[in-house]
Chains A and B, each alone.
Chain A
Amino acid sequence: MKKKAKNIGVRADVNNRNKWCAVPYYVWMIIFIVVPLVMVVFFSFTDSDYHFTTANYEKFLTRGANGELIYVTTLLRSLGLALIATLICLIVGYPVALILSSKRIKRSDLLITAIMLPTWMNFLLRTYAWMTIIGRNGLLDTLLALIGLGPVEMIGTNGAIILGMVYNFLPFMILPIYSVMAKMDHSLVEAATDLGANPLQVFLRVKLPLSMSGIATGITMVFMPAASSFVIPNLLGGNKVSMIGNTIEDQFKSAGNYNFGSTIAMILMVCILLSMLIFNGKGDKEEMIM
């Protein structure tokens, strides 16, 4: 015991010195992460003269000419579109992860790389590419005209925005589910089969429960960027459909009302945090960085 204590003493001394390596980062972290967030909270509760007010939050409940809640409607639309896109990603992406993780598929590593490759390309360029296809007189209209149909006004619809979200974020649903399922102990599946479970039972009782943490991570990685997106509605929404991200952009880039902008950002953060708590009990944060 005593001998060990001496050793630990030496080690603790050296480690003490190494721990100072992180000090510059603490300063950086406080300046660039903590202070900005405190500022968002502060500005959301103050007016332009730095006096405390809840007027910004009341403004969020403003009604339009027809009595509709302008900002609340936009927020609900954003969350709704993001939810639909997330569900589509889950329904479309889960089978992909399931198939790729099964033993029968050869070179699944190559296929998963192929699925992830487009995400390495600039996000703006990928979204822009869809404008060429579904835009006015785009490829879709041209093809439809060949068989005597169209033109369809797809740009500016909710469908176009959901398409953009699913396209951009689908790989982020597939990857976490795939990595959880690929690590799964295959003997569990064999054991279940040996004990007389049919393929459906194997799936429902073994594979699905074991892939839950991957699903939770996938949902987070799709829902969060989708709900806060402002590029997709701007490029594919054609100024007709706007989301809460656009409202924040307007407040900071054109209206110059940082207080109200901060308020909307706060509300968006809280909404996303709450929805994460609802469907993400056991998601692994570290899995998000692969």
Chain B
Amino acid sequence: MKKKKNGLPILYIALIIAFLYLPILVMILYSFNETSATGPFTGFTVKWYESAFRNQKILDALAVTFSIAGIATVVSTVFGTLTAIGIFNSRMLTQKIVTNVTYVPMLNPDIVTGISIMLLFVYAGIPRGYMTMLMAHITFCLPYVIFSVLPKLRQLDPNLYEAALDLGARPGYALGRVVIPQIMPGIITGALLAFTMSIDDFAISFFTSDEANLSIYVYSAAKRGIKPEINAISTVVFFGVLALLIIINFRKKKEN
């Protein structure tokens, strides 16, 4: 009796998960399809993977995506953590103003953030390229780091930092040895969020740069029709993300 009661909800969850994975599975399947059409499956091949990894445009786009994400993550994590410590120690009014302004890129639609930063570059006379994309990415990654670290600082026992100072630690040393280790989970969460936001970004990059990251490449290619090469790249990206998540989860379990 009890088992039957559970059956319907489980079926519902299964259906939703099937819906979420259906296009991904279709993409993986078609990345191995002999013909480039999306019709019936005609035969197994890996030629799309070969041509995708020989396609200079795809390789360039991948290099831009990952290098921007890497640099933007490191910069925004360090910069954002320092900022959070600074905000936490500021007056209430300053905290209020700064956090509200920092919410703006998170709450504004990406397209609005994108065009507004584009206007800045256009009228400052800065040619849009790799650097402008990087600056835009740092801008939208920073809020995620700041808002991941701030709550951890608020949970912190202030006596510990003071104790370190009373025992003769210099403020910088106390910060590095007492505060930073305790807010580490927040810093790591912030860094992971920043990395995924940067990897996934389309709208802001699209307006702030003439370089193509993976999203921009897919956008311009897909507008011209379906390319099996994109299926191959998607499959690689999907398994890459999957592997990354498994590693993160594995590390978490090990720590516990």
Contacts and interface: CB of A to CB of B under 8 A. Distances in A.
Interface of A: 7, 10-11, 14-26, 28-29, 31-37, 39-40, 43, 92, 95-96, 99-100, 102, 104-105, 111, 113-115, 117-118, 120-126, 128-133, 135, 137-139, 141-142, 167, 170-171, 224-225, 227-228, 230-231, 234-235, 245, 248-249, 252-253, 258, 261-262, 265, 268-269, 272, 285-286, 288-290
A255 B83 CA distance: 39
Given A114-B17, A137-B37, A139-B26, A99 B112 contact: no
Nearest to B82: A21
A118 B222 contact: no
Smallest CB-CB A-B distances: 3 pairs: A22-B86, A228-B109, A21-B86
A261 B202 CA distance: 19
B196 interface: yes
Contacts of A114: 17
B222 A124 contact: yes
A17 B120 contact: no
B13 A265 contact: no
A22 B202 contact: no
A179 to B, nearest CB: 14
B148 A289 contact: yes
28 contacts: A11-B162, A16-B89, A18-B175, A23-B86, A24-B83, A28-B79, A28-B142, A32-B117, A39-B123, A40-B112, A96-B16, A105-B10, A125-B234, A125-B238, A126-B24, A131-B226, A137-B38, A137-B39, A171-B20, A224-B109, A228-B111, A235-B222, A245-B111, A262-B115, A262-B119, A265-B115, A269-B112, A285-B107
Interface of B: 6, 9-10, 12-13, 16-17, 19-24, 26-27, 30, 37-40, 79-80, 82-90, 94, 98, 101-113, 115-120, 122-123, 135-136, 138-139, 142, 144, 146-148, 151, 158, 162, 165, 171, 175, 193, 196, 199-200, 202-203, 207, 214-215, 218-219, 222-223, 226, 230-231, 233-234, 237-238, 241-242, 245, 249
A100 B12 CA distance: 11
A111 B13 contact: yes
Given A18-B86, A122-B237, A34 B101 contact: yes
B238 A121 contact: yes
Nearest to A265: B112
B16 A92 contact: yes
A122 B171 contact: no
Contacts of B147: 286, 289
A36 B120 contact: yes
A137 B36 CA distance: 12
B89 to A, nearest CB: 4
A112 to B, nearest CB: 10
Given A121-B241, A137-B37, A269 B162 contact: no
A258 B122 contact: yes
Given A122-B200, A128-B222, A252-B207, A167 B86 contact: no
Nearest to B150: A286
Given A228-B111, A231-B202, A25 B79 contact: yes
B199 to A, nearest CB: 7
B13 A125 contact: no
Contacts of A37: 104, 116
